[in-house]
Amino acid sequence: MAQKVTAMDIRMAAAVAGQLDNVAAFCRDERISRQTFYKYRRRFREEGIDGLRDRSRRPSTSPGQTSPEIEDIVVRRRKQLIEQGRDHGAQSIVWSLQRDGCPRCRRRRRCGRS
């Protein structure tokens, strides 16, 4: 489910609204969750205005990511198969690399995972 993007003015209001009598009513009126309200309030207290800016959701690491060298091998093989007029789908690429002795493709079914 996609998350709703909260406008900066609502974030600011949520952050600085320290003396709200009814947080639930404020959240209902602004169409944000209480969890979001308290998240921005905490960020504002800890970091000031900078805490209210959008943050990347990308993970800091991707341990299962295929290495750039394997990506290059796969892309080159796909181009070779296209030039030869052969099927160039994922299974064809793996089979072709296994047939030619790709050291990583011998151990596993998928290239790029050791």
| pLDDT tens by residue, 61-70 | 888 888 888 8
Q: Which residue has the tokens 């709200």?
A: 20
Task: Please state the domain extents for the chain.
Answer: 8-52, 68-107
What integer pLDDT is reported at residue 86 of this predicted model?
86
Residues 3 and 45: their CA atoms lie apart, in Å, by 23
pTM score > 0.85 for this model? no
Q: Which two tokens stand for residue 106?
A: 């011998």
Tokens representing 55 are: 């943050």
> Regarding predicted confidence, which is higher, 79 or 4?
79
- Report d(CA 23, CA 15) in Å as an integer: 12
Report pLDDT for 82.
Answer: 93
pLDDT at 9 over 80: no
